[in-house]
Amino acid sequence: MTAIGINVNTRAVKASVEPRTHLADFLRDHLNLTGTHLGCEHGVCGACTLLIDDMPARSCITFAATCDGARVITIEGLDDDEIATELRTAFTREHALQCGYCTPGMLISARDLVLRLDTADERAIRVGLSGNLCRCTGYVGIVRAVRAVIEDRRKRGIRPITGAGRVRLGPVGSGNGTSVERSKTTWSSASSEVQERSISRAAIPDFIPDRVFEQHFMVASPPDKVFATFGDIRLVASCLPGVSLTGDPTPEHVEGVIRVRLGPISAGFRGTARIERDPSTLSGQIVGRGDDQRSRSSTQGEIRYRLVAMEQGAATRVELSIGYSLQGMLAQIAREGLVRDLAARLTADFARNLDLELSGHGGSGPAQQAQSIDGLALMFDQLRALVRKIFGKIFGKS
């Protein structure tokens, strides 16, 4: 995984990506910016066009990792852009779209022409848009719309900008990736092994999880006691089935392995996590990431917790928000419902073990730690529930 920092639609985004992840997938799958469409995924159709450092670029053939330090603008980032607004109006008026699949990429290329072209020359517009394919419209409406916007702006005295303000030579994004440029940015670069190691140990970055869900459980101990226990990382790890530590934890950092089995695949995610705690609000968060070499999968996860006093302070409701992103082979089979059930079972086991520890009857030990979380059993549980439901419907029972 490579740590990157990209400015997307004026928002600073830090993430860790596989070297092969292309920018379009990163934007769509990690940031939910689905306005960037994917057609050919070979750099031919132009559907995935967006702006990298103000230059139109194919995001399907641009690796996200090479955009570290770049400024990316997608169609969503042009909502309030003056030229894009004029183009959208002209596209609507001139019937320049039908299914709309090519339209985001077409608008971004068209905006670049409106910025650069001196006159509304039809041939220049057709050449300029030749990298954006449209299966529906026959292009007549599109060219008419772009011509209309250019003519209107020139009539209003708005002059073209030579080269659309570009100062760099070379391919799109070539301004990023030189050590001189990168050292000036506020984000740390993962370009050297030393930096990579220090990132993995100390700076586990925040990320935007693909999936987030809530869980809660009760323990029969006061919140202060539960919070203090959460500070004992070894004890917390011993309460989690399938988890074992691989180093000495500190209050802010932990390294370990979590073993899970999903369908036919067993995985042992080896990783590292950052721990933050706030005693004033009895809350905290753990943000981590890990890789499983065997299934060539990787995950990022975060657990946020908050402790709420119940039963006049004698008991605690532990509220959890669990977020994760999964890449690699396991992502193909780990459907959201299965992961959710896995987390529910993990949470239930953790709650039970924690309760035992807090009441002085701790049952966690090596045998328990060695267990993995069995996703196959979960699938059978789900199957059993489904069969029960079907028979219930047939025989009129719930």
Interacting residue with ligand FES among 3, 16, 28, 58 (CB under 6 A): 58
By CB under 6 A, residue 43 contacts ligand FES: yes
Contacts of 310 (CB under 8 A, 6+ apart): 218, 316, 317
Joined together, the tokens standing for residue 248 give 């000495």
Q: Which two tokens stand for residue 7?
A: 């400015």
In the chain, the largest separation of any two C-alpha atoms, in whole Å, equals: 83
Distances in whole angstroms, Cα of residue 9 to Cα of each of 12, 79, 109, 313: 8, 10, 17, 46
Stretches 13-21, 43-51, 76-84, 299-307: which one binds ligand FES (CB under 6 A)? 43-51
> Cβ 30 to ligand FES, closest distance in Å?
18
44 binds ligand FES per the rule CB under 6 A: yes
Task: Name the segment binding ligand FES (CB under 6 A); options: 134-142, 246-254, 325-333, 339-347.
Answer: 134-142
Q: Is 303 in the site for ligand FES (CB under 6 A)?
A: no
Report yes or no: 46 and 131 within 8 Å, Cβ to Cβ.
Answer: yes
Cα–Cα distance, 126 to 28 (Å, whole number): 29
- How is residue 294 annotated by DSSP? T
Residues with Cβ within 8 Å of 368's Cβ and at least 6 positions away in sequence, in order, are 238, 241, 353
Q: Angle 140-155/103-116 helices, nearest 10 degrees?
A: 30
Rounded to the nearest 5°, which phi and psi values hold at 349? -65, -45
Closest to 296 in 3D by CA, of 336, 327, 323 = 327
Looking at 1, 6, 27, 60, which residue binds ligand FES (CB under 6 A)?
Answer: 60
56 counts as binding ligand FES under rule CB under 6 A = no
Q: How far is the CB of 26 from ligand FES (least distance, A)?
A: 14
- Stretch of 33-41, 74-82, 161-169, 254-262 contacting ligand FES, by CB under 6 A: 33-41
The residue with tokens 């047939």 is 394
- CB of 113 or CB of 303, closer to ligand FES: 113
Shortest approach of ligand FES to residue 143 CB, angstroms? 13
User: Interface mask (CB under 6 A) for ligand FES, residues 92-131, using x and -?
Assistant: -----xxxxxxx----------------------------
CB contact at 8 A, 300 and 215: no
Helix 82-93 and helix 103-116, axial crossing angle in degrees, nearest 10? 120
Position among 5, 35, 46, 301 found at the interface with ligand FES (CB under 6 A): 46
Matching residue, tokens 């690796």: 63
Helix (H, G, I), strand (E, B), or coil: what is residue 73? Answer: strand
Beta carbon of residue 136, minimum distance to ligand FES (angstroms, whole number): 3
Is residue 218 within 8 Å of residue 273, measured between CB atoms? no
C-beta of 98 vs 229, nearer to ligand FES? 98
Instruction: Give yes or no for residue 135 binding ligand FES (CB under 6 A).
Output: yes
What element of type H or E holds 214? Answer: strand 211-219
Minimum CB–partner distance for residue 4 and ligand FES (Å): 20
Euclidean distance between CA atoms 123 and 289, whole angstroms: 52
Query: Using CA atoms, how far apart are residues 270 and 127, in angstroms rounded to an integer?
Result: 51
Instruction: Tell me: does residue 136 bind ligand FES (CB under 6 A).
Output: yes
The residue among 60 and 233 lying less far from ligand FES, judged by its C-beta, is 60
Should residue 207 be labelled a site residue for ligand FES when binding is judged by CB under 6 A?
no
Contact between 48 and ligand FES (CB under 6 A)?
A: yes
| Contact between 29 and ligand FES per CB under 6 A | no
Smallest separation (angstroms) from ligand FES to the CB of 141: 9
Number of residues that bind ligand FES (CB under 6 A): 23
Closer residue to ligand FES (CB): 135 or 294 = 135
171 vs 392, which CB is nearer to ligand FES? 171
Shortest distance in whole angstroms from residue 297 CB to ligand FES: 26
- Least Å distance, CB 105 to ligand FES, is 8
Cβ 49 to ligand FES shortest distance, Å: 7
Mark 187-205 as b/e (b = at least 16 C-beta within 10 Å).
bbbbeeeeebeebbeeebb
Q: For binding to ligand FES (CB under 6 A), which residues are involved?
A: 38-41, 43-48, 58, 60, 97-103, 134-137
